[in-house]
């Protein structure tokens, strides 16, 4: 884990209010494991007091580079969107408890809702041969072609709420449809997206007896496990999303106690 300044390699708009940011930071790119994140701060730092958490969506250690896929949410992400090549960003990371998948899995089903696709992409370099990537967007306007970010031998299937691209419906509708006609012998589901979607998915997976992991998002002040601020209620009590997560087994979470 490092605290360092990273240079912007490029920062490109991929869809409506969605950007792909490449940062040069050798130590981060070397150490990053699937599912980890970084805490970022822009310069000059008067804009916001706290750092902001972003998933490492791809890491290319041979080029000393890692990538972030982000959407404009508020003041920091707005300002990030106008970063130019060569600009400097302060980075803390990689952070978070990486998920160790069992060796013998047959299929990895990745389900992303909107910008929730970002951390899921990080599993592709290692698992694309076993992966099925299901993504849901609002419309073709915020659609991201994951194959362009990481080409590979996985299936990438897409749903949009208005039907302007791919299947008409949500990523969960598509997931149900997709799994109906297939038999998986040792599959694992990993998902990231809005809380309501994760809640629903955890029920579906429990019924279908599918092992399910979810990425949770809570407000983080430090991202390093120091402040106990980012907790989520689990069956073993409060756990820190930044240090014990951000990936949790869906079964472990007390869903009914989480405030939307």
Ligand X SMILES: Cc1cc2nc3c(=O)[nH]c(=O)nc-3n(C[C@H](O)[C@H](O)[C@H](O)COP(=O)(O)O)c2cc1C
Which residues in this chain contact another protein in the complex, by CB under 8 A?
Answer: 1-3, 41, 48-51, 90, 92, 218-222, 224-233, 237-238, 243, 259
Chain position whose Cβ is nearest to ligand X = 227
Q: Does 169 bind ligand FES (CB under 6 A)?
A: no
Q: Does 70 bind ligand FAD (CB under 6 A)?
A: yes
Please report, as residue ranges, which positions from 200 to 259 form the binding site for ligand X (by CB under 6 A). 227, 229
> How many binding residues for ligand X (CB under 6 A)?
2
Helix (H) / strand (E) element for 233: namely strand 231-234
Beta strands 18-24; 187-192: pairing state: unpaired
Nearer to ligand FAD, 31 or 52 (CB): 52
Binding range to ligand FES, per CB under 6 A, among 192-200, 202-210, 223-231, 252-260: 223-231
Tell me how many degrees the CA angle 89-92-93 measures, rounded to the nearest 5: 125
Q: Using CB under 6 A as the criterion, what x/- string covers residues 83-122 for binding ligand X?
A: ----------------------------------------
Q: Does 220 bind ligand FES (CB under 6 A)?
A: yes
Backbone angles phi, psi at 250, to 5 degrees: -60, -30
Q: 76: how many CB neighbours lie within 10 A of its CB?
A: 19
Alpha helix segments (H runs only) across 139-194: 146-149, 171-180
Give the one entry of ligand FAD, ligand X, ligand FES, none that residue 77 binds, where binding means its C-beta sits below a cut-off of 5 to 8 angstroms depending on kind. ligand FAD
> How many binding residues for ligand FAD (CB under 6 A)?
22
Give the torsion sign (CA, 157, 158, 163, 164): negative
Q: Does 77 bind ligand FAD (CB under 6 A)?
A: yes
Q: 34: how many CB neighbours lie within 10 A of its CB?
A: 24
- DSSP string over 186-222: SEEEEEES-HHHHHHHHHHHHHHT-EEEEE-----SS
Nearer to ligand X, 92 or 212 (CB): 92
Copy the structure tokens of residue 18.
């969605």
Copy the structure tokens of residue 146.
């994951």
3-state secondary structure of 128: helix
Distance CA 34, CA 96 (A): 10
Give the one entry of another protein, ligand FES, ligand FAD, none that residue 232 binds, where binding means its C-beta sits below a cut-off of 5 to 8 angstroms depending on kind. another protein
Among 20, 37, 66, 213, binds ligand FAD (CB under 6 A): 37
Give the one entry of ligand X, another protein, ligand FES, none that residue 259 binds, where binding means its C-beta sits below a cut-off of 5 to 8 angstroms depending on kind. another protein
Binding site for ligand FAD (CB under 6 A): 37, 48, 50, 52-55, 68-71, 73-77, 115, 118, 217, 219-220, 246
């Amino acid at each position: 884990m490092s605290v360092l300044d990273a240079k912007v390699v490029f920062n490109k708009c991929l869809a409506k209010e969605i950007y792909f940011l490449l940062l040069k930071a050798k130590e981060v790119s070397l150490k990053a494991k699937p599912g980890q994140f970084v805490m970022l701060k822009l310069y000059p730092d008067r804009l916001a007091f706290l750092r902001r958490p972003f998933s490492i969506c791809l890491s290319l250690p041979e080029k000393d580079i890692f990538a972030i896929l982000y959407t404009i949410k508020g003041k920091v992400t707005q300002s990030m969107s106008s970063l130019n090549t060569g600009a400097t960003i302060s980075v803390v990371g990689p952070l978070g408890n990486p998920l160790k998948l069992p060796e013998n899995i047959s299929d990895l089903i990745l389900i992303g809702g909107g910008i929730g696709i970002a951390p899921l992409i990080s599993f592709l370099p290692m698992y694309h041969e076993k992966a099925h990537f299901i993504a849901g967007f609002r419309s073709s306007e915020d659609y991201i072609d994951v194959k362009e970010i990481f080409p590979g031998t996985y299936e990438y299937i897409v749903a949009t709420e208005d039907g302007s691209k791919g299947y008409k419906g949500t990523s969960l509708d598509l997931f149900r449809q997709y799994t109906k006609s297939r038999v998986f012998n040792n599959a694992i589901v990993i998902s990231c997206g809005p809380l309501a979607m994760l809640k629903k998915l955890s029920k579906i997976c429990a019924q279908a007896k599918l092992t399910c992991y979810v990425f949770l998002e809570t407000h983080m002040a430090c991202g390093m496990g120091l402040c106990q601020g980012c907790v989520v209620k689990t069956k073993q009590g409060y756990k820190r999303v930044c240090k014990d997560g951000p990936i949790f087994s869906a079964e472990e979470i007390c869903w009914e106690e989480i405030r939307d």
